[in-house]
Amino acid sequence: MTSSYGQFVVVLLIFVGVLAVTFFVTKWMSGYQSGRKNGSNIELIESAPLSTGKYIQIVRLGERYYALAVSKDNVTLIGELDRDSLIINDSGSGSGGMSFKDIISKVSSASGSEAHVNEEKE
């Protein structure tokens, strides 16, 4: 019986080790990717889905801004945009300026408030 507990502890430690390695590799890759993006002349400003596999995107190429229609097999230039007509968030993050930690805390607080509302209803 003690050998099964020992095996369980070993498997649990290996699992935690794999999770830790995954976490640190992910952090390293995100830092590497963000380092590659700095100083580039191409930037995706915003993207919105139109239907399955079809998007409208605003991109910056150098100092100019363009609206593109993007599908699986085709990219079509809709037109050039004036920077003054755009609302650009200079947060530097693709998730609307929120870190993963901020998103998780927002989701957990929202689910906590739902539980609180459900408790009040009962």
Residue 80 lies in a domain: no
pLDDT of residue 39: 65
Number of domains in the chain: 1
Domain residue limits at 31 = 1-38
pLDDT at 101: 78
| pLDDT mean for each 10 residues of the chain (122 residues) | 85 96 90 66 89 93 93 93 82 57 78 51 48
SS3 state at 42: strand
pLDDT of residue 79: 94
Q: What is the pLDDT of residue 30?
A: 80
- Asked if residue 91 belongs to a domain, the reply is no
According to the model, what pLDDT value does residue 111 have? Answer: 66
**Chain centroid to CA 48: how far?**
14
Does residue 75 belong to any structural domain of this protein?
no
Residue 72 lies in a domain: no
Query: Residue 102 falls within a domain, yes or no?
Result: no
Residue 65 included in any domain: no
> Amino acid identity, residue 63?
E
Q: Would residue 9 count as lying in a domain?
A: yes
Task: Extract the tokens encoding 93.
Answer: 């993050």
Positive/negative CA dihedral, 4, 5, 9, 15: positive
Are 67 and 56 within 8 A, CB to CB?
A: yes
Predicted local confidence at residue 43, as pLDDT: 86
